[in-house]
């Protein structure tokens, strides 16, 4: 009622509906074009002017990532590059999952200290984490490269995992600290009477209650690792450690790769984070806004 | 009664042991995070500065020598410096403005009670979930000079008379990288502003309505003041992201045509890893870091002043 009163102006509704449609199209159209192209045959994707709706829908471009022979004569046109896809997908998954798990551990340990213990220097330490988040990867890439070279870690997944900790850990500490603060202290008090030791108390009582925070922490770590490009470009050189972003970048910069294959690769690369984002929509939205407010 | 005593007793016994070591315990818990940061961030950033003071080319490692600030002098006086600083600032400025305006519009719309609100709120997550690499792939295909969607669309609408190569011409290549970046980074800002809008008490609008304030007056005197902090956060986060942009440049334009879209960060990459000039490359990188530092200090002061950082 108050809304109807508040906004009695007739053209206002039109403006809002119009704008909402423009925004929806602004998001959907570019990606829709990628999806549509990925379902075309190569010949159709190259037609001028472009076909918006494919005359002939095919899944060959996706199947090519598992079985490169499917594209037949197209095999030369990037089929070879697609061969690395299952391995790249596996590498990306291993790296992103490892980073997520490490962040849950490191983040909840440090987060607990900030949420529950009074210690001198805590405010300063929290600021140090915040400052760490703002260090641009560009500033440390050369030193990290030389360091990994010294330890023989170039072209290994470990190099990627370690380098991704640089930008995920500070954020995870912040997420966990602010989430743990919302959990009532009674739980731990009750557990202490039962003479549980600290680790037992964490594993059996505290962390299960804090699981939404842990999931948020893992999600952000997973997603930012999944799509990372600069470190992956510098530290990987063969299929041993190449991740999806590097495979996709190879498609984008190689003009001989068929556009249909390239777009199918783009869809495959965006699928895991997109599915996660939609499943955990609420958690992400609150995480983004909390992260922004808290730094 | 007895239970309460036991509880108090257990507490004091534990408390005594805990009290003594609380600080040590806190730092013990922080140890993994501190080690990670010391080894993987703090050491590299000091090392990067140290390397920037040396002549060090991977192709001629024997010529390694301390040269003081010579690399910085070389960078600042090179023909590339002013243009790439200009590109970086141009890119950052227009990305930030573009995102702010669009995100504000999107947040205002997504805050309304309309049927498509749920769709819009779910869709916002699509560009957010998309990495820079896939974003670049998408826009490269859209801007494709032959079969790209943009040429096809504009041509069929009669807005252009012949197909253009958007990424290869100097004036439109700027626009292309800004567009791709705005598309990719919009959701974050829209969600931050949306959260800000939801925090505004509706009584304020009701009061403004009673005062017969116009739509614009309500926006100007109620919405904007309440959004000042989220807007500031959006500006800062966008600026930090804009200065360090890499993947979109690398994949969409490769810094070209010529050096038209070469940012400071891209120059740092090329100098370090293509020319293998580690010393001078780090001087480029440090310039990016210093530019970031100015904004970062401002940001931390803002958060600190608001009391978000507490012990």
Contacts with A7 from chain B: Cβ below 8 Å = 215
ipTM computed for the complex: 0.89
Q: Which residue has the tokens 């879209």?
A: B261
Looking at every residue in chain B, the average pLDDT score rounds to: 86
Q: Report CA Rg, chain A.
A: 24
| Residue A234 in this model has a pLDDT that exceeds 90 | yes
Please give the model's pTM, rounded to 2 decimal places.
Answer: 0.88
Query: In whole angstroms, what is the distance from residue A33 CA to residue A259 CA?
Result: 12
| Residue B19 in this model has a pLDDT that exceeds 90 | no
Q: Which of B83, B102, B78, B66 is nearest to B234 (CA)?
A: B102
Query: In whole angstroms, what is the distance from residue B145 CA to residue B166 CA?
Result: 7
Length of chain B: 311
Query: In whole angstroms, what is the distance from residue A213 CA to residue B237 CA?
Result: 23
Q: What is the pLDDT of residues B147-179, one digit of tens each?
A: 888 888 888 888 888 888 888 888 899 999 999
DSSP string, A109-161: HHHHHHHH---TTHHHHHHHHHHHHTS-HHHHHHHHHHHHHHTT-TTSHHHHH
| Residue A4 in this model has a pLDDT that exceeds 60 | no
Which whole-number Å values give the CA distances from B9 to A75, A118, A267, B2, B13, in the listed order? 76, 22, 61, 10, 6
CATH topology of domain A85-294: MetI-like fold (1.10.3720)
Q: What is the pLDDT of residues A10-49, one digit of tens each?
A: 677 888 899 999 999 999 999 999 999 999 888 888 887 7
Query: In whole angstroms, what is the distance from residue B187 CA to residue B22 CA?
Result: 41
Query: In whole angstroms, what is the distance from residue B266 CA to residue A266 CA?
Result: 23
For chain B, the three-class secondary structure string (H helix, E strand, C coil) is CHHHHHHHHHHHHHHHHHHHHHHHHHHHHHHHHHHHHHHHHHHHHHHHHHHHCEEEECCEEEEEEECCCHHHHHHHHCCCHHHHHHHHHHHHHHHHHHHHHHHHHHHHHHCCCCCCHHHHHHHCHHHHHCCHHHHHHHHHHHCCCCCCHHHHHHHHCCCCCCCCCCCCCHHHHHHHHHHHHHHHHHHHHHHHHHHHHHCCCHHHHHHHHHCCCCHHHHHHHHHHHHHHHHHHHHHHHHHHHHHCCCHHHHHHCCCCCCCCCCCHHHHHHHHHHHCCEHHHHHHHHHHHHHHHHHHHHHHHHHHHHHCCCCC
How far is CA A33 from its chain centroid?
22
Cβ burial, residue B252 (10 Å; 0-12/13-18/19+): buried
Query: In whole angstroms, what is the distance from residue A229 CA to residue A32 CA?
Result: 23
Q: Are strands B60-66 and B54-57 parallel, antiparallel or unpaired?
A: antiparallel
Are B285 and A163 an interchain contact pair (Cβ–Cβ within 8 Å)? no
| Residue A9 in this model has a pLDDT that exceeds 60 | no
Q: Where are the domains of chain B?
A: 81-261
> According to the CATH classification, is domain B81-261 in 1.10.1060.10?
no
Beta bridge mates, B66:
B54
Are B137 and A266 an interchain contact pair (Cβ–Cβ within 8 Å)? yes
Query: Which DSSP symbol is given to A205?
Result: I
Q: Which of B188, B173, B194 is nearest to B130 (CA)?
A: B188
Query: In whole angstroms, what is the distance from residue B30 CA to residue A115 CA?
Result: 12
Is A76 an 8 Å CB contact of chain B? no
Report A:6-25 residues touching B (Cβ under 8 A): 6-7, 9, 12, 16-17, 19-21, 23-24
Contacts with B140 from chain A: Cβ below 8 Å = 252
Are A122 and B137 an interchain contact pair (Cβ–Cβ within 8 Å)? no
Q: Which of A240-254, B149-163, B279-293 has the lowest mean pLDDT?
A: B149-163
What percentage of chain B carries pLDDT values higher than 70? 91
Q: What is the pLDDT of residues A116-153, one digit of tens each?
A: 988 889 989 998 998 898 899 999 999 999 999 999 99
Query: In whole angstroms, what is the distance from residue B306 CA to residue B289 CA?
Result: 25
| Residue A294 in this model has a pLDDT that exceeds 80 | no
| SS3 assignment, position A189 | helix
Q: Where are the domains of chain A?
A: 2-76, 85-294
Q: Which residue of B has its CA nearest to A126?
A: B309
Is A49 an 8 Å CB contact of chain B? yes
Query: Which DSSP symbol is given to A224?
Result: H
Are B146 and A234 an interchain contact pair (Cβ–Cβ within 8 Å)? no
Tokens of A238: 């063969």
B142 contacts B134 by C-beta, under 8 angstroms: no
Are A138 and B288 an interchain contact pair (Cβ–Cβ within 8 Å)? yes
How far is CA A59 from its chain centroid?
26
């Amino acid at each position: 009622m108050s809304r109807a009163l508040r906004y009695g102006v007739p053209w206002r509704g039109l403006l809002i509906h119009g704008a909402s449609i423009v925004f929806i199209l602004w998001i959907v159209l570019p990606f829709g074009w990628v999806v549509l192209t990925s379902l075309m045959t190569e010949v159709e994707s190259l037609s001028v002017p472009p076909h918006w709706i494919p005359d002939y829908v095919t899944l060959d471009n996706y199947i090519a990532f598992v079985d490169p022979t499917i594209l037949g004569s197209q095999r030369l046109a990037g089929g070879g590059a697609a061969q690395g896809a299952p391995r790249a997908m596996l590498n990306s998954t291993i790296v992103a999952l490892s980073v997520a798990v490490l962040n849950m551990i490191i983040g909840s340990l440090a987060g607990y200290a900030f949420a529950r213990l009074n210690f001198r220097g805590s405010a300063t330490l929290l600021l140090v984490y915040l400052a760490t988040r703002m260090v641009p990867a560009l500033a440390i890439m050369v030193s990290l490269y030389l360091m990994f070279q010294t330890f023989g870690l170039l072209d290994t997944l470990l190099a990627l995992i370690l380098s991704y900790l640089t930008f995920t850990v500070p954020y995870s500490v912040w997420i966990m600290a602010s989430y743990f603060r919302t959990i009532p202290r009674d739980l731990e008090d009750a557990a202490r009477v039962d003479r549980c030791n600290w680790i037992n108390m964490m594993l059996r009582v505290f962390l299960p209650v804090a699981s939404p925070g842990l999931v948020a922490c893992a999600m952000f770590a997973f997603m930012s690792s999944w799509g990372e490009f600069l470190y992956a470009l510098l530290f990987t050189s063969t299929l041993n450690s190449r991740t999806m972003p590097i495979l996709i970048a190879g498609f984008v910069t190689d003009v001989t790769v068929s556009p249909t294959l390239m777009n199918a690769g783009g869809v495959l690369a965006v699928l895991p984070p997109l599915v996660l984002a939609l499943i955990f929509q609420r958690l992400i939205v609150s995480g983004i806004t909390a992260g922004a407010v808290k730094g | 009664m007895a239970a309460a005593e036991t509880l108090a007793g257990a507490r004091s016994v534990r408390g005594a042991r805990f009290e003594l070591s609380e600080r040590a315990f806190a730092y013990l818990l922080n140890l993994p995070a501190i080690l990670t940061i010391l080894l993987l961030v703090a050491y590299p950033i000091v090392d990067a500065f140290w390397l920037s003071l040396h002549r060090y080319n991977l192709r001629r490692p024997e010529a390694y020598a301390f040269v003081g600030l010579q690399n910085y002098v070389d960078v600042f006086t090179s023909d590339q410096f002013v243009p790439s600083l200009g590109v970086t600032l141009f890119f950052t400025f227009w990305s930030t403005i573009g995102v702010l305006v669009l995100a504000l519009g999107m947040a205002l719309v997504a805050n309304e009670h309309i049927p498509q609100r749920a769709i819009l709120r779910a869709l916002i997550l699509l560009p957010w979930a998309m990495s820079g690499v896939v974003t670049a792939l998408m826009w490269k295909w859209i801007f494709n000079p032959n079969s790209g969607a943009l040429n096809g669309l504009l041509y069929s609408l009669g807005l252009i008379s012949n197909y253009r190569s958007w990424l290869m011409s100097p004036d439109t290549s700027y626009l292309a990288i800004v567009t791709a970046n705005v598309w990719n980074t919009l959701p974050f800002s829209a969600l931050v502003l949306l959260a800000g809008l939801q925090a505004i008490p509706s009584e304020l609008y009701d009061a403004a309505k009673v005062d017969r304030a116009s739509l614009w007056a309500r926006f100007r005197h109620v919405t904007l003041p309440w959004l000042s902090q989220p807007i500031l956060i959006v500006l800062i986060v966008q600026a930090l992201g804009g200065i360090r942009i890499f993947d979109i440049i690398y994949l969409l334009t490769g810094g070209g045509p010529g050096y038209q879209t070469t940012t400071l960060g891209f120059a740092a990459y090329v100098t370090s890893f293509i020319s293998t000039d580690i010393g001078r490359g780090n001087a480029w990188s440090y310039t990016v870091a210093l530019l970031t530092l100015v904004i970062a200090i401002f940001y931390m002061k803002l958060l600190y002043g608001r009391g978000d950082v507490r012990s």
